[in-house]
Structure 1
Amino acid sequence: MAVVGGRARRAAVRGLLAVAGASALSNAVLKPIFPRRRPPAGSVEFAHRRGLPSPRSSSFPSGHSASAAAFATGVALEYPAAGLVVAPVACAVAYSRVHTGVHWPSDVVVGAGVGAAIALATRRWWAVRSEDPATLGPDHPALALPDGDGMIVFANPGSGSDGDDPVSEIEGYLPGARIVEFDADRDFAEQIDDAVADLSPKALGVCGGDGTVVTVAAAAVRNDLPLAVFPGGTLNHFARDAGAGDIASTAQALADGDAELVDLGRVGVDGDEPLTFVNTASLGGYPDAVRLRERWQPRLGKWPAAALAMVRVLASAEPLRVEIDGRPHSVWMLFVGNGRYSPADQVPMSRPELHRGILDVRYLLADHRWSRLRLVAAALTGTLGTSRTYVQRRVPDVSVTVNGPKVALATDGEVVADGRQFDFRSDPQSVVLYRQV
């Protein structure tokens, strides 16, 4: 499941974390507190089939049952279909403890309950990601392009995983569309403007990761053209949130002329022309982690490099002294989301709304004593929303002034600028996005 990626990988990770918690609780805490003898030899039907000596630890509760139930429940929380496949295996593990005569039935029942409870408790500090798309703005008339005639689709060949070929699938659905692959040695925005000037398209399309999507989205607004998004990156946050997670549905929206309005985020840096973001912008530790990840990725791969970079940054991070809307603070990190993210009191996992002209602003305060330790404790116990070290606001705009040297700004996972003055604002319902109704 971990190798497959996506929901399956999240399910595997949650399941394994639940196993670790259930095993620790049942074996290291509950068994010593509630000592109970194992069933005597021959007292349980089929016990002679065990063929192994009876364990000497307490019989209550069943650690195997706890681990099996924890994994199955954790998987089901993230990926219900996979949970249905795993559940019979977990039931077989639980039954086997009685069948082989090493546990009483009550040990197994309580153990399974402990495992399921631990898995459910993981939601307190790691929210389950919703697969439902965000609510977008009102319907907006758009030109129907059944075969993609008159449309330019910009594709980034450097996006996505090796072996994927979404461009061929797009060509199959939209044979009339003009496919333009970006030249990595030239500025993407310039290439878009040149193609628009030469071909006078009726709509723009984009196939790539979020960094590519934001560039084409900004060009669509600049040229007053509707936009079609085709997932072609590794994570495809915007495409998934906006309900454009597969090529077939977007092609159908183009054929029907179905479109809705979507917000963009803007940020001005030191008074320069505002930059655009479709998902998030951040200051503090995250941009530094992105830079380290980019440096180490060629040698280690993306995910190991990202994990090591975050550990390195958190261990050595220094708080930023800033003014947020004129009020002085010391912060570890500042997050600005385009639209409303959920949950509000945990690490954001999904985006229910993308059309109300709001920014989801969150920052981690370093103003309080032992703030880093308190933040970690709050995150692990699911009490981040009530911690004095965590602030979450929903506003149409926010101004951040850094009192010190320039700091890096990251938008949509890429470091894009350094500065001291950052003016964030929502650009409400500025993109006409093809989406199947």
Structure 2
Amino acid sequence: MQTPGIPLEPRPTGAGVLIVRNLRSGRDVIRRDPADVITERLPDARVHELAEGELLKDAVARALAGDDPPSVLAVLGGDGSVSRMAHLARRHDLPLLVLPGGTFNHFARAVGIDDVGTAIDALVAGEGTTVTAAEVSAGDGEPVTVLNAISVGTYPQVIAEREDRMDDMGKWLGGVAATWRALHDAAPVVIGREGRHAKVWSVFISVGRNAPERVAMMQRQTIHDDLLDVRIHHARGSRLRAVASLAFGRKTTALLRAVRLMPPESDVERLVVPELDLSVRTSEGSASVYVHDGELEEETPQGYRLRCRIVPDAVRVYAPASAARAD
């Protein structure tokens, strides 16, 4: 798809830019802290570090209510922080600058930003693009912006278990322990759609069409595709296959498929739709949770309704011109 970029106001010194740092995001241990790069290249930007317990929306609200409100909202953090800032950028009709500072940085990579320097280059040059997003709401909750993907079932259960163990074991070991437990205790969820109900291991909903061989879709593949790509893994196979299906790297997925650990195509239903309305009910004793862009949300144990819809041209993002051309 050939989609031109859009011009955004160049900010060569960072004037008018609010950068919020989330130090609680997972760190990429290979890269050094970009604070010096930001200070050197954007001396006039306002940098705010989130304090313990401080919410991103509150920090932005205070800045916008001040005498010199920002004209650009920037965030240094992982995908969860980026999606929350994108939601605020939409609400206040401001462009978004993404400074990758998390573990995977899925959205940053989708818009061609591999590091903080590349993001600053786009800001200085005034290069940008509009990006399709999704909105998700559960129960009577307000819709929130999603940039990559939404998930129900085994993956959120693993994330919930990992969160419970992080204080004692850390993120990596907590994840290993959570995966091990899922191999023994993972339980299907029951979803309902258009009057039909099914037991499933997982549902993944990607913003834009995704790689056809994947079940677990964590990173979007396009930035302007105005459809949701849905993968429903029906609970016909083992827990081992349920956990194996969570692999999202191409090489890992190919290896697991070669040794017949991935679910067969007949177990995975695919939908490509502009919106999706599901009822979700978990098994007794399982966490009633879902995940969007890595953010865990807890819902009522009795079940909940999950509604997703695509939002074309949802966010203006500073990004290299090549990102729009390559989509």
TM-score range, shorter chain: 0.7 to 0.9
SS in 2 for 1:302: helix
- Counterpart of 1:153 in structure 2 is 19
Distance 2:174 2:263 in 1: 30
Indicate conservation of the 8 Å contact 2:226/2:311, yes or no. Answer: yes
Distance 2:17 2:43 in 1: 10
User: Cα gap change, 1:244/1:331 in structure 2, threshold over 3 Å: closer, same or farther?
Assistant: same
Structure 2 length-normalised TM? 0.83
Give yes or no for the alignment of 1:289 onto 2:173. no
Letter of the structure 1 residue corresponding to residue 44 of structure 2: G
Give yes or no for the alignment of 1:408 onto 2:277. no
Q: Deviations over 1:77-128 (max 9, x none)?
A: xxxxxxxxxxxxxxxxxxxxxxxxxxxxxxxxxxxxxxxxxxxxxxxxxxxx
**Amino-acid identity (%):** 34
Indicate conservation of the 8 Å contact 2:158/2:178, yes or no. Answer: yes
Indicate conservation of the 8 Å contact 1:336/1:359, yes or no. Answer: yes
- Larger helix proportion of the pair: 1
Structure 1 length-normalised TM? 0.63
- Counterpart of 2:324 in structure 1 is none
Distance 1:137 1:294 in 2: 39
Give yes or no for the alignment of 1:142 onto 2:15. no
Deviates more, 1:332-341 or 1:224-233: 332-341
The Cα of 1:170 is off from its aligned counterpart by: 1.3
Indicate conservation of the 8 Å contact 1:284/1:320, yes or no. Answer: yes
Distance 2:316 2:162 in 1: 34
User: Cα gap change, 1:413/1:377 in structure 2, threshold over 3 Å: closer, same or farther?
Assistant: closer
- Counterpart of 1:344 in structure 2 is 213
Q: Deviations over 1:120-158 (max 9, x none)?
A: xxxxxxxxxxxxxxx795422211111111111111122
Q: How many residues were matched structurally?
A: 301
- Counterpart of 2:146 in structure 1 is 277
Q: Deviations over 1:251-295 (max 9, x none)?
A: 111111110011222111113211222222111121221121122
User: Cα gap change, 1:328/1:303 in structure 2, threshold over 3 Å: closer, same or farther?
Assistant: same
Q: Note the aligned Cα RMSD (angstroms).
A: 2.6
- Counterpart of 1:357 in structure 2 is 226
Pick from 305, 320, 326 the counterpart of residue 436 of structure 1: 320
Letter of the structure 2 residue corresponding to residue 414 of structure 1: E
What are the within-5 Å matches in structure 2 for residues 187-198 of structure 1? 187-198=55-66
Indicate conservation of the 8 Å contact 2:74/2:99, yes or no. Answer: yes
- Counterpart of 1:246 in structure 2 is 115
SS in 1 for 2:136: strand
Indicate conservation of the 8 Å contact 2:204/2:232, yes or no. Answer: yes
Q: Deviations over 1:313-356 (max 9, x none)?
A: 23212211111343211111111122232243455475431211
- Counterpart of 2:272 in structure 1 is 394
The Cα of 1:408 is off from its aligned counterpart by: 0.7
SS in 2 for 1:235: coil
Distance 1:376 1:202 in 2: 44
Q: Is the radius of gyration larger for structure 1 or structure 2?
A: 1
Letter of the structure 1 residue corresponding to residue 294 of structure 2: G
SS in 1 for 2:7: coil
- Counterpart of 1:262 in structure 2 is 131
User: Cα gap change, 1:277/1:312 in structure 2, threshold over 3 Å: closer, same or farther?
Assistant: same
The Cα of 1:171 is off from its aligned counterpart by: 1.6
Letter of the structure 2 residue corresponding to residue 184 of structure 1: E
User: Cα gap change, 1:149/1:381 in structure 2, threshold over 3 Å: closer, same or farther?
Assistant: closer
Give structure 2 stretches of 5+ with no counterpart.
246-252, 322-327
Ranked by relative contact order (alpha carbons within 8 Å, sequence separation 6 or more), the top structure is 2
Distance 2:201 2:318 in 1: 38
The Cα of 1:305 is off from its aligned counterpart by: 1.4
